[in-house]
Each structure stands twice: as C-alpha cells, then as structure tokens.
Chains A and B, each alone.
Chain A
C-alpha cells in the first residue's frame, strides 16, 4: 500500500528471505506481526508467579552453602581458596592421650567457629570443590534475604541447618563411565569371590589335605579383605 508498509514487511520476513524470491503482498508482514501477538495472547504465560508458585530449580542449583561440621578437619583449604575471603574459621588443638596398648599422644583440630558471609560470597563454589572431606555442599535453598546485611553472616549452626536441605546427588548419565568407587568395590568383591572359588576347588580336589589347604586359602582371603579395605580407603 505504501513504502512504509513495504519496508516493515521486508523487516518482518527477514529470516526466511530464501523461501520466496517473489515479493510478498504489501502489508503481509504487518498481518504476520498481529497474528504472532494474538497467538501469544491465547497461550499460557511463560512466567511463574513466584511467591505463590515455587520455582522449578535445576538439580545443581547454587542456593546456599551448607556445612556438615563432623566432616570438617579445619584444614583451612576452603578459607584460603575463597576468592573474596568470606569464610571465617576458628579452631584449637586438643591432645588425645596415648592409647593404653602403647603409642604416642596425638593432636586433633577442634572446630570452634565456621562462618560464611553471604553478603560477600559470590557463589563460585570453589570452597565446595576444594573440600577434601565433603564437609561443604550446595543446597538449593535461596530464600534467606535479610533486612540487615549483618544477618547474612551464617554461623556454623545455621550452616548445618542448610545441610538437611542438600539434595541427593544427581543420577549419572546412562552413558557415563562408572564411578571409581563402584569399580574399586566391584574389583575387590570379584577378587574375594575368585579366592573363595579357588579354595572350594582346592578343597574338592584334595579332600585329604583339606585342613592344610583351608589354612592357605584363609591367608588368601585375608589378603583379599586387605585390598578391599584399601579400595574403600581410596574412595
């Protein structure tokens, strides 16, 4: 109808220029625009009414950092790796007296204070990555806004409360490699089974020397248990 309408029609059909080399009817793009908005109106909204409707969070959501105090050995790795130094740890050493069977006294670290300042935290997750004993975990909880910024400093009891909200680990992808822990345990179990079978075969083959062979296999299975516990230790 007019040059204006032609121009906007051109703009509208930008993506599929290759489809039709022939010029569309003037104003076709305008009609297409109206149709698009009308169609969108008849469909459901894409938004979520958040306070009334809880959001669907992805499984690895970084909501808040939770602490399982018992797993912490005060190695200070998290505090040192934290890019903005928002983890505060206080501890003292305690001496464990020598066991009655002999040996020497040992010292262990006792955690006095573990606090994360979430007003500084940038949710990079390095502390969780670096923790060798899985004392820190991500929790998907995110509703802990405060009126006073000082209240964003979560002490260890509050950090522990978050731990009960930590979800179970996400299931592995079906095509994924088997976890090392399972492989190691399976290997140990296989070994044990093989040793048992060998013992049975030996027992069947030499019923006379059963007692002596039994003692031998006993040592064999003992080694197997040793490997087993070693594998667990690796895990």
Chain B
C-alpha cells in the first residue's frame, strides 16, 4: 500500500514538473522572440507590461485572449473545429513526457521506443492544423490546411530518416540510451543529420522561412484564420511548445543532451541551455530570411533534404560497420 502511494506521488510530481516546463519554457521562448526579433530589427519590443522591459507581455496577451469571444463560424464543423486546438497542443505535452532532461531518472517516462514515440506524437500535432483548416468552412483555412498537409508529407520523411540515423548510430531507440552513448565526435559524424532534422522540424512547425501555410499576405492566417480567443492562443502556444520540443529533441539526439562540464549534477541545465540556444537560432532564422515559395519549399524537401538524409544514413551505416 505504502509503495503504491509512493509511486503515485512520484508520478504526480514528475507530471507537475513536466507541465510546469511545458507552460513556462514556451512562454520564455515567446518572450525571447519578442525581444530578439525587435532588437534584430532595430526596435526594442514590448517595454510596458510588467514594468521591466515588458517581461509580462505574454501574460498580458494571455489575459487578452481569455477575454475575447470564441467564435465558431456558422458553417463550420463544430466538433472538429473546437477540438482542433487541443489536438494541436496536447501532443507536444505528451511528447515531452519521454524526453530526458538529465542523466539517470531525470525523465518523465523512460520509454524503450522513445524516439519512435516522440516522432509519431509530434506528427499528430500537425493534424490539429489540418483539422482546423478543414473544419473552418473558409477557403483560406482550407488552402492553409492543404499546404500544411503537403508540407507534412514532404518534411516528415527527411526528419524521420535523420532521426533514424541517430538511432542506428546508438543502436537504440531509447532517448536516454542515445544520449548515454553520445560522444563528442558524433557531432561531425551526424552533422548533416542534425541539419536535416532541425530544418525539417522547422518546416513541420511552419516556422518562417517555411511558413507558407500561414502566409498572411496570401491566405490571411491559413488554418487559423477563423480562430479567436483562447482557441487561437492554444494554436500559438502549440507553435512555441513545438519549437521547444524540436530544440529539445535536436539537443538530445544530436548535441549530446546533458553532456557538458559537471553533467553529473548540472546535466539538466546543459539540456535547457542548449535548447534555449537552439530556440534563439529558430528566432534568428525567422528574422533573417524571407518566406520560401511553395515550389521552392517542395523542391528543397525532395531534392535537398531527403538526399542529404539518405547520405547521412549511408555515412552512419558505413561508420557503424567499420
């Protein structure tokens, strides 16, 4: 009896920590985007909310979204429309459960097929956008949804191939196992894979410069056009949660996760630090590059990323056999 209570307490604690991470870090990345993007454009960004350099801007935004009316268009498929933001947001929370933050037991659930699980669940997140696009009864939403689908088809493959390369290198699909086996020379070895994984992850999150599905100058806001209030805020939060998860996964798979000086005690800090640096790169790329055209987007995936991912697989295989 006592053992069971202890187990429940531990599970509860882990889930609370993960939920806290899930709610705080995306906001941190969002605030970083506000400020970094502003300074990259010669502005200062939010300065009022909260007093000190607008630190509470996203909280203010959240309050604003909560106050707004949640409109469901008359012709919309109500159930699907209302479900879509949840479908977009929840998978990232679920995926976070199996990502190891630090060595040993510093992981929600140590799954043997963690890599497989995370990639599968991340793919579900994109479905939320598809559902929203289809259910909104709006041509712009539908176009956005279709573009999302096309992008998912194109970029899921290189992402999986490059992730598979790491799995091959480590000989395991467990995320903790992969980080355990990681050596510094994996960095050059898996460099192409890291590039392909990160870039196709960006594309899957529809982050600029791969934001054709929400290209506001053409299709308003793609699948999110008809969304208001909290549902819209969920989609936005899903985007930032997606960034965090992508950066976290890139860190764990390619950058050695918790490896670094004093990793025995400060391993989690290394993971978070690497994740935040990668998040900064995501924002940096957004500010620096214009949006790719739809045909460029497709050609980049099929003629560049997939061959690169296959090349990485070959390199990994050859080195493993040697």
Interface residues of A (CB under 8 A from B): 1-4, 7-8, 30, 33-34, 36-38, 40-41, 43, 45-47, 49
Query: A40 contacts B284, CB within 8 Å?
Result: no
Contact at B39–A3, with CB atoms within 8 Å?
Answer: no
Q: Please determine whether A38 and B40 come into contact, CB atoms closer than 8 angstroms.
A: yes
B64 on the interface (CB 8 Å rule)?
A: no
The answer to whether B42 touches A47, judged by C-beta atoms less than 8 angstroms apart, is yes
> B289 to chain A: which residues have CB within 8 Å?
8, 30, 33
Complex Cα distance A3/B303, Å? 9
Q: Chain A: which residue is nearest B47 at the CB level?
A: A49
B304 near A: Cβ within 8 Å?
yes
Please report whether the interface of chain B is mostly helix, strand, loop or mixed according to DSSP.
Answer: helix
State the interface size on chain B (CB cutoff 8 A): 20
Which residues on B are within 8 Å of A, measured CB to CB?
A: 36, 38-44, 47, 284-285, 287-289, 292, 296, 299-300, 303-304
Cβ A1 vs Cβ B42 within 8 A: no
How many angstroms from the CA of A41 to the CA of B35 in the assembled complex?
10
Task: For the complex formed, measure the closest distance between the CB of B31 and the CB atoms of chain A, giving whole angstroms.
Answer: 15
* Residues of the B chain whose Cβ atoms lie less than 8 Å from the Cβ of A45: 38-39, 42-44
Given contacts A4-B296, A40-B40, 11 further A-B pairs with CB under 8 A are: A2-B303, A4-B292, A4-B299, A30-B288, A33-B289, A38-B284, A41-B39, A41-B40, A45-B38, A45-B39, A47-B42
CB of B304 within 8 A of CB of A41, answer no
Contact, CB under 8 Å: B41 / A40: yes
A3–B304 CA distance with the chains assembled, in angstroms: 8
A34 to B282, CA, bound (A): 11
Q: Which residues of B contact A34 (CB under 8 A)?
A: 284-285, 288
Distance (Å) between the CB of A87 and the closest chain B CB?
Answer: 39
In the bound assembly, the distance between CA atoms of A40 and B39 in angstroms comes to 7
CB-based contact B43/A2 at 8 Å: no
Give complex CA distance A1, B288 in Å.
Answer: 19
- Interchain nearest-CB distance for A38 vs B (Å): 7
Question: Which residue in B38, B42, B47 is a CB contact (below 8 Å) of A43?
Answer: B42
- Could you write out 14 A-B pairs with CB less than 8 Å apart? A1-B304, A3-B303, A4-B296, A4-B299, A4-B304, A8-B289, A30-B288, A33-B288, A33-B289, A34-B285, A37-B287, A40-B39, A41-B36, A41-B39
**Nearest chain A CB to B261's CB is how many angstroms away?**
26
Give B194 Cβ to nearest chain A Cβ, in Å: 14
Residue of B nearest to A49 (CB): B47
Is A46 within 8 A of B43, CB to CB?
A: yes
Q: CB-CB < 8 A to B40: which residues of A?
A: 37-38, 40-41
Which residues of B are found within 8 Å of A2, using beta-carbon distances?
300, 303-304
A5 to B, closest residue via Cβ: B304
Q: Could you tell me the distance between the alpha carbons of A1 and B44 in the complex, rounded to whole angstroms?
A: 35
Q: Residues of B contacting A33 with CB < 8 Å?
A: 288-289
